[in-house]
Amino acid sequence: MSDSPRALPHPADSVVAFADGVSIRELTTQDDYRECVAIQDEIWGPGFAEVVPPAILMVSQKMGGVCAGAFDPSSRLLGFVFGVTGVRHGAIAHWSDMLAVRPEARGGRVGERLKQYQRERCLQVGARTMYWTFDPLVARNAHLNLMRLGARAAEYAVNLYGSNTGSPLHGALETDRWIAAWDLTTAAPSVPAVRTSGTFVLRVAADGVLPETPGFPDAEVVRVAVPVDHTRLTHEQRVAWRMATRAAFLHYLDRGYTVQAFQRGDGDAPPFYELARS
């Protein structure tokens, strides 16, 4: 089977299979839900305050929500996606609360497949837009959300979840997030290419770790760099990146710029967001 899921049948018998042996289906049993909690513990740590318990994973599906998992050929759960459906801005919409993929399964498009499955489920209940949040400093997530799925970075939220989630992954870092908005009605969104030129208003300093801010010029296209791998930074370095990127994004968003594209790091070039006037 190709990497694009087929049209989904009724939820009760829905299994989407891929040529590499990965399959995706709705989660329905207590064992399924407990394994989702185990994955949350593995990724965010057992002290994570925002863990979604089995009861909520189960009940949400009775109200149009989605809880689906990706499995390897041995039926091991590789990752899951969870979200709730409701009304936002006067229309039926879906908020994707959690996407978690075990480390050994990353790089195999498991997360992207789960999002596409979730998209089909949401369309079936009348949702036309999906929202979720992601950390602006995590380059791989920015690339998936903006360049592969074609979602928009619709809003920048400062310290959305507070600075004490209980997760070692977050530490005491303030949880700034992009709120992504994904138009579900377009199966293959047009993703703009990164422009050949732009002005770096935030870049990697000479030490290769800390950010450097040349200034906030009134340029037509600006670039905001982020770390190649934020998990390898010390807490102090991550704080420096958080404050620098926050200042840059808020400055330009307040002046009518929007995120147009994201470029992954290439060689000595850092990953960066591209912003331009709307």
> What CA–CA distances, in Å, run from 20 to 16, 72, 81, 104, 108?
12, 9, 20, 15, 10
Q: In which residue are the tokens 């992601």 written? A: 134
pLDDT of 50 above 50: yes
Over the chain, what is the mean pLDDT?
90
Q: φ and ψ at 249, to 5 degrees?
A: -60, -45
CATH topology of domain 11-183: Aminopeptidase (3.40.630)
Tens-place pLDDT, residues 215-250: 899 999 999 999 988 888 998 999 999 999 999 999
Cα separation, 114 vs 91, whole angstroms: 23
Sequence spans of domains, the chain: 11-183, 199-277
Compute the Cα dihedral for 143, 147, 152, 154 and give only its sign.
positive
Tens-place pLDDT, residues 171-220: 679 999 999 999 999 877 677 788 989 999 999 887 888 899 988 999 99
Q: What is the pTM of this model?
A: 0.89
Cα separation, 269 vs 277, whole angstroms: 24
Cα separation, 50 vs 155, whole angstroms: 22
- Structure tokens, 20: 């590499």
